[in-house]
A and B are shown apart, each in its own frame.
Chain A
Amino acid sequence: MQHKPNEQFKSKLEKFVNDNFEDKFLRKNFLNRFNSWPSSKIESWKLSRLGKLSRKEISPLLPNESDFDKNIKFLKRSYSLVFYDGIYRESLSDKLPENIEISFFEIKELEEFLNKCGNQEILSHPTLNITASCAKNYLKIKIKKNFSLDLPLEIIQYGGDSKHSIHPLILVELEENSALNLIQLYKSSSALIAPLEIVKVGKNSNLEIVKIFDDSDYCHNLSLTIKIIEENSECKSFNLIKGGAFSRSENHVFLKGESSSVDLNGVYLSSDDQHHDLTSVIYHNVPNCRSSQKVRGVLNNNSSGVFQGKVVVEKNAQKSDAHQMSRVLLLSDKANSNSKPELEIYADDVICSHGATVGELDEDQIFYLLSRGLNKEKAQHIMIDAFLTEIIEDSINAIYLENIKNETILGFKKILET
């Protein structure tokens, strides 16, 4: 029988789950919710269409069990956890201090987490459903109570190939009164990487996450992160999206404890036919929380960029403070950007704002720099750097600020060259 491309992937998922997992019946709760890639009629996929992905003839990758000998640390001083083909490789990873615990967890815990989110919408997300059903194992990283990790923790995703999808699934849990600086690097070579990340930030804790999207140029990355933030905690997150053919970093954040805050900032640097997307939904479930989303994009050639930021302020969530701002720089008249800030506010005593701008490099500024002897390339570098630096400095406190700045500079140098 001839399948439509969408159905073809579904049948491959089914076969993969049937063949490989003992807990297949539990996994099927997720699998059954995935029928096909969302069509462009679905609101949250209108601006980021999955037509190309649905035409890829791919199936989930059965991870290669042998390990690889590679020097793949991002920072010199850090604890690194290496994933290959979507699964954690202990032998390639650093040994962690005692107060940080690595374990596998059950599908039941994922279901409990989703119940706690209390949100129906998320249950239909393709990444949630395909990765929960296909992940080889569910890895939990727990920072124990009252502990702050002295160095950054880095998680690097490698592996995959152009015929397969890979499915890393990670839960990061910060117990009460703990702190963590986390860097996640996506450097896969897979047709599709669908990372599912669950983040629990307990009371009085502090999490700073940087995600760098730098997959192969044919890769689709459909990253989904779901976070619950408890009382008096802070989660700062910064996305640098530069690689892949299609990279979407999607975040759903539930501010469940009072006086908690979340920053979801990002930069995308796009060129050629790349499509980059920062999508987020932030739920102010309780009063007195703060959220902020700041996005900067630089687009060259035929590339396109999307920022969709939705803030939902529930009825009792008085004194919420929510801000969104997107600014985009177009370096080519064929590039195309879409910003869709959305506020859904049911409380009356809130401070909310949103805005979006799209522009080009300013001719007067470039000429001023040229007239001081700088060549055009240098002048563009300086102005793009200035455009991006503020948000990066704003988003990152940790010691790796300079590394992230350098990654960003490499990113925009690359899009200027193409």
Chain B
Amino acid sequence: MSILKIKNVHLKIENKPILKGISLSVNKGEIHAVMGPNGSGKSTLSYMLAGREGYELESGEVKFENKDITSFLPNERANAGLFLAFQYPVELPGVSSVNFLREAVNSRRKYLGKEEFNHLNFVKEVRKVADEMFVKDEMLKRSVNVGFSGGEKKRFEILQMALLQPVLSILDETDSGLDIDALKIVSHGVNKYKNNDNAIILITHYQRLLDYIVPDFVHILVDGEIKRSGGPELAKYVEKNGYAGIINAA
């Protein structure tokens, strides 16, 4: 069953074409890796999907669970089950992490017609999940992402994913800047969350992450276009030969 269908998407930023005809189809239970050099448009693709202002498509189609979401606000997409783990998680000084998580989770629960958590119940819930994701209690008491190390920020993104139980998660370079131990923790979180009813788009430019999270499909995004798609072996090829071969071949 289709979760996401992107058809021939074009997008310009400040009049400069950034995405130049992207198509991608993601079904339930699948993990797609999107790889590509810096500046190829990976984050732009993720912002476009999340509905960020200024990242509206110029032409093409985006369907999420068979609904055209191009006119949905970012919060409507999130509540419908689309999640973006940011490449650079944003610091929110003065906003307590627990309250932030509760607001997020309750927004989604409200959308799903489930009862919202009160503070006490939520703290119990978050403790349980945080423990599974190796997020320390003490981190939850701080302001969102403030004073978090690089690894803590990424773990906090994964914790949000685990709490929100999205249908589609887009992880934008969640692996970059992590050492092996942190990478293992994050991968553990992702694998634990993954099931046959949801899907993941893993944006990365290292093959390294794919040793821990095995993708069903790999797409190589270069200069705003998907130049090649294949199975996990494509990632290995890129690791050995770099993107140059693919760029030249195209």
Q: By the criterion CB–CB under 8 Å, are A373 and B78 in contact?
A: yes
Asked whether B160 is an interface residue with its Cβ less than 8 Å from the other chain, the reply is: yes
Identify which of residues 355-375 in chain A touch chain B, using a CB-to-CB cut-off of 8 Å.
363-365, 367-375
Binds A, one of B36-44, B59-67, B100-108: B100-108
User: Known interface pairs A364-B90, A365-B90, A378-B103. Does A371 touch B78 (Cβ–Cβ under 8 Å)?
Assistant: yes
A371 partner, pick from B50, B91, B93, B94, beta carbons under 8 A: B50
Residues on the B chain within 8 Å of A383, using CB:
92, 95
Contacts of B91 in A (CB 8 A): 365
Q: What's the Cα separation between A121 and B211 when bound, in Å?
A: 75
Q: In the bound complex, how far is the Cα of B143 from the Cα of A368, in angstroms?
A: 14
A390 at interface (Cβ–Cβ under 8 A)? yes
A364, A382, A387, A389: the one contacting B103 at CB < 8 Å is: A382
| Nearest CB in chain A: distance from B228 CB, A | 30
With beta carbons under 8 angstroms apart, the residue of B52, B78, B94, B143 that contacts A372 is: B78
Are B104 and A374 neighbours in the complex by a CB distance under 8 Å?
yes
Contact B73 A370 (CB under 8 A): yes
Contact with B along A322-334 (1 / 0, CB 8 A): 0000000000000
Q: Closest chain B residue to A367 by CB distance?
A: B52
Measured in the bound complex, the distance between the Cα atoms of B29 and A336 in whole Å is 53
A378 to B75, CA, bound (A): 11
Measured between alpha carbons, how far is A386 from B99 in the docked complex, in Å? 12
Q: Which residues of B contact A378 (CB under 8 A)?
A: 103
Q: Once bound together, how far apart are the Cα atoms of A340 and B160, in whole Å?
A: 43
Contact B75 A373 (CB under 8 A): yes
Q: Looking at chain B, what size class is its interface with the partner chain? A: 20 to 34
Chain B residue, CB-CB nearest to A379? B75
B140 at the interface (CB under 8 A from A): no
A373 contacts B95, C-beta separation under 8 Å: no
A329 to chain B minimum Cβ distance, whole angstroms, is 12
A interface residues (Cβ-Cβ under 8 A, vs B): 363-365, 367-376, 378, 382-383, 385-387, 389-390
Q: How far is the CA of A389 from the CA of B96 in the complex (A)?
A: 11
Query: Roughly how many angstroms separate A300 CA and B177 CA in the complex, as a whole number?
Result: 40
CB distance from A360 to the nearest CB of B (A): 14
User: Residues of B contacting A370 with CB < 8 Å?
Assistant: 51, 73-75, 78
Q: In the bound complex, do residue B108 and residue A373 qualify as a contact, i.e. CB atoms below 8 Å apart?
A: yes
| Contacts of B71-103 to chain A: CB distance below 8 A | 73-75, 78-79, 84, 86, 89-95, 100, 103
Q: Is the CB of A371 within 8 A of B103?
A: no
- B155 vs chain A, min Cβ distance (A): 16
CB-based contact B75/A368 at 8 Å: no
Residues of B within 8 A of A364 (CB): 90
Tell whether A372 pairs with B90 under 8 Å between CB atoms, given A367-B53, A367-B74, A382-B95. no
Measured between C-beta atoms, what is the minimum distance from A345 to chain B in Å? 32
Q: Which 8 A-B pairs have the closest CB atoms?
A: A386-B94, A373-B107, A372-B104, A373-B78, A370-B74, A368-B90, A373-B79, A370-B75
A-B contact pairs, 13 of them (CB 8 A): A370-B75, A371-B74, A371-B75, A373-B107, A373-B108, A374-B107, A375-B107, A376-B73, A376-B75, A382-B103, A386-B92, A386-B94, A390-B94
Of the candidates A373, A375, A378, A383, the one having the most CB atoms from chain B within 10 angstroms of its own CB is A373
Can you name the residue of chain A whose Cβ is closest to the Cβ of B101?
Answer: A372
With A373-B104, A382-B92 already in contact, 5 other A-B pairs whose C-beta atoms are closer than 8 Å: A364-B90, A368-B86, A370-B74, A370-B78, A372-B78
Chain B residues within 8 Å of A371, by CB: 50-52, 74-75, 78, 84, 86
Tell me the minimal C-beta distance from A388 to chain B in angstroms: 9
Q: How far is A313 from B161 in the complex, measured between Cα atoms in Å?
A: 55
Question: In this complex, which of A370, A371, A389 has the most chain B Cβ atoms within 10 angstroms of its Cβ?
Answer: A371
How far is B93's CA from A33's CA once the two chains are assembled, in angstroms?
49
- Cα(A122)–Cα(B95), bound, Å: 42
In the bound assembly, the distance between CA atoms of A261 and B70 in angstroms comes to: 58
Q: How far is the CA of A387 from the CA of B93 in the complex (A)?
A: 8
B193 contacts which chain A residues (CB < 8 A)? Answer: none
Interface contact B75-A374, CB-CB below 8 Å: yes
Q: Please name all residues of chain A whose beta carbon is closer than 8 Å to the beta carbon of B89 when the two chains form the complex.
A: 368
Asked if residues B53 and A372 are in contact (CB atoms below 8 Å), the reply is no
Q: Does B117 sit at the interface, judged by CB under 8 A?
A: no
Q: Give Cα A212–Cα B129 distance, bound, in whole angstroms.
A: 43
Q: B179 to nearest A CB, angstroms?
A: 25
Is the CB of B122 closer than 8 A to any CB of chain A?
no
- Please give, as numbers and ranges, the residues of chain B lying within 8 Å of A363 by CB-CB distance: 53
Contact B50 A372, beta carbon cutoff 8 Å? no
Question: Which residues of A lie under 8 Å from residue B143 when comparing CB positions?
Answer: 386
Q: For residue A378, which residue of chain B has the nearest CB?
A: B103
- Complex formed: what's the CA distance from A148 to B5 in Å? 70
Give Cα A378 to B106, complex, Å: 12
Which A-chain residue is minimally distant from B103 (CB atoms)?
A374
Within 8 A of A (CB), among B176-211: none
A389 proximity list for chain B (CB < 8 A): 94
